[in-house]
């Protein structure tokens, strides 16, 4: 019988397993050329290269693509416990432009998780280290698991 309080290694392994399950169904994130850099309980880092087809009329990465990158990191972080979780609110501040050829990384960090809700801060940076956007996401846990039946199997 598995301990009801998973140790750090088990929680990390669960976060990795959940990320792989989500990735297999996450066609939007894949289509934008994103990749998972790291996932742990309550956190995730996702990378995305800025392509020509992501540029706006000013020759900068369209803000919608930076938002989508941050939202994807948010999704992987808040679902890392294998509890289906969705966004209830998000806000973004654009601080600097990203250009074609830049590789962006969005790092999501859990700030609060209680009951059905959570708050996550996501920092979007160019790999050189310059911060280009700050995103805050609020999550809401819904019914079900990312990997269906895993909790019941662990309790057995």
pLDDT of residue 4: 40
- Mean of the pLDDT values across residues 59-69? 98
What residue ranges define each of the domains in the chain, with the CATH number in brackets? 8-155 (3.10.129.10)
| Percent of residues in the chain assigned helix, strand, coil, to nearest 5 | 30, 35, 30
Q: Are 58 and 124 in contact (CB under 8 A)?
A: no
Tokens of 121: 């801060």
Distance CA 110, CA 101 (A): 29
pLDDT of residue 156: 64
How do beta strands 131-141 and 85-94 pair?
antiparallel
pTM over 0.85: yes
pLDDT of residue 3: 38
Distance CA 53, CA 41 (A): 33
Tens-digit pLDDT profile for residues 25-45? 999 999 999 999 999 999 999
Tens-digit pLDDT profile for residues 90-146? 999 999 999 999 999 999 999 999 999 999 999 999 998 999 999 999 999 999 999
Per-residue pLDDT for 2 more than 70? no
| Contact partners, residue 18, CB within 8 Å, separation at least 6 | 39, 79, 80, 81, 82, 146, 147
Q: Are 92 and 134 in contact (CB under 8 A)?
A: yes
């Amino acid at each position: 019988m598995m301990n009801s309080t998973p140790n750090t290694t088990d929680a990390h392994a669960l976060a990795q397993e959940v990320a792989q399950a989500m990735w297999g169904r996450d066609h939007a994130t894949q289509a934008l050329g994103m990749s998972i850099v790291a996932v742990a309980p309550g956190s995730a880092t996702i990378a995305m290269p800025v392509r020509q087809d992501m540029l706006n009329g000013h020759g900068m990465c369209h803000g919608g693509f930076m938002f989508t990158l941050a939202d994807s990191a948010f999704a992987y972080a808040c679902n890392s416990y294998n509890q289906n979780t969705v966004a209830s609110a998000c806000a973004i501040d654009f601080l600097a432009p990203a250009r074609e050829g830049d590789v962006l990384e969005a790092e999501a960090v859990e700030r609060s998780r209680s009951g059905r809700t959570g708050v996550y801060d996501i920092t979007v940076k160019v790999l050189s280290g310059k911060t280009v956007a700050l995103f805050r996401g609020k999550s809401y846990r819904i019914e079900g698991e990312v990997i269906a039946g895993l909790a019941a199997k662990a309790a057995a």
